[in-house]
Amino acid sequence: MFRMARRKVPWILLFEAALMMRRRWRTLSPSDRTRLAELTRKSQGHPLRLTREERAEFRRIAGDLDLIGLVREMTPFGGGLRGRH
């Protein structure tokens, strides 16, 4: 029984992450979503396949997704990545 539960946990976490990412994706404007998808396809996972301007545009749009906030939500208690003073 424990073994079965252990196998299911990663899928649950993956599903939760997908739902959170979907929420963030929907906060982007339709034009930003389209452009980010175009840039991702063009780069094929290699940022150097984009021009300097395209990389800057990609970073700007991806920054609107608040990926650090996503990581904080996925971290237990949400405080694992806060800056230290």
Report pLDDT digits (tens) over 24-41. Answer: 999 999 999 999 999 999
Contact 80, 72 (CB under 8 A): yes
Report pLDDT digits (tens) over 8-20. Answer: 667 787 888 889 8
**48 or 13: which leads in pLDDT:** 48
pLDDT exceeds cutoff 80 at 5: no
Q: Identify residue 85 by its one-letter amino acid code.
A: H
- Per this entry, what is the length of the chain? 85
Count the Cβ atoms, other than its own, within 10 Å of residue 46. Answer: 8
Give the whole-angstrom CA distance, residue 20 versus residue 41: 22
* pLDDT given for residue 8 in this prediction: 65
Instruction: Return the percentage of the chain with pLDDT > 70, whole number.
Output: 78
Q: What is the 3-state secondary structure (H, E, C) of the chain?
A: CHHHHHHHHHHHHHHHHHHHHHHHHHHCCHHHHHHHHHHHHHHCCCHHHCCHHHHHHHHHHHHCCCHHHHHHHHCHHHCCCCCCC
**60 or 83: which leads in pLDDT:** 60
